Amino acid sequence: MQETNYITIISNRKKIVLGISTILYVLMVGKNAEIHVSGGKIYTTRMNLGELEEKLGDGFIKVHRGCLVSIMAIHDITDSVNLSNGESLIYTIRRKNEIIDQLHAKQKNMINSFIGEGIPMTEEEYRKHYSSFEHLPFAFTDIEMIFNEERHAVDWIFRYGNSALAKLEKLPLDQLIGSTFGSLFSNMDSKWLRNYERSALYGETLEIIDYSPEIDTYLKVICFPTFQGHCGCILFDISEIEYTESSSDADRALTLYLRKISKKNE
């Protein structure tokens, strides 16, 4: 949607090149622009919003005179602009309908663009593309997100899965592949959708550790973008994972990992 994939800014007297797809939103603070990117980093630069709006292109909308937001980062708009990463932003309430209409129009164009070159068209093409995943000892799947008229993810289709996935999901592959998750599991928990939506639309790599009522299993899931509108998922049954200290730095690594999780939950 943008003519370029990157922008160059000066932040803290250093030249920084930012991928446009990593930018969540831009907030003006006085004469400076704060550029918030995925992963929690913020870059401050001396640019006005008009300059940034031109550089960032049609993938962003102005929610008030001092804020630009990536359409891929927006989960929904209620009393605030709610982002897929859990953040909420204020906006000009009197422009609510206008902003929502702009969002839906731009999201529609974005989602329609997902049908493009490079995406496998048949089950055989998916299996050929992921041939190296066939005999891995952990479950892997490529899923295609399904969006409703409001451009929210409401389900997904299993496009590829290996034999370990069939074992984990307790269903044969020929039943899984080509089927929606909701059609297979009537007790589908929507908590998975928001994370998969973030990965497919915003290009984030995420780790999810949670209980799956659908298969009565505690899971660790790592999801990451694959094709446009898709994400790949590596799934582990937590009961089968053994933690081992491989070096003297293991405790420190685990502490840093748990501290990061704790900060996100605060």
263 falls within a domain:
no
d(CA 115, CA 228): 8
| Predicted TM-score (pTM) above 0.75 | no
**Both 141 and 63 in a single domain?**
no
pLDDT tens per residue across span 13-32: 999 999 898 899 999 999 99
pLDDT tens per residue across span 91-144: 999 999 999 888 888 877 776 666 665 789 899 999 999 999 999 999 999 999
* pLDDT confidence of residue 247: 76
26: containing domain = 6-112
- Counting the structural domains of the chain, the total is 2
**Both 127 and 230 in a single domain?**
yes
Give 116-125's long-range contacts (Cβ < 8 A, gap of 24+): 116/228, 118/227, 119/227, 119/228, 119/230, 120/159, 120/227, 123/159, 123/160, 123/177, 123/178
* pLDDT confidence of residue 117: 59
On the CB side of 51, CA atoms within 13 Å amount to: 12
* pLDDT confidence of residue 90: 93
Please give the average pLDDT of every successive group of 10 residues along the chain, which has 266 residues.
70 91 92 90 93 90 94 86 88 92 80 70 94 95 86 89 97 96 90 86 86 95 92 96 78 75 59
**Both 236 and 130 in a single domain?**
yes
**CATH at 225:** 3.30.450.20
258 falls within a domain:
no
**Both 100 and 128 in a single domain?**
no
**Both 91 and 136 in a single domain?**
no
* pLDDT confidence of residue 260: 67
**Both 35 and 143 in a single domain?**
no
* pLDDT confidence of residue 108: 73
**CATH at 31:** 2.40.50.1020
264 falls within a domain:
no
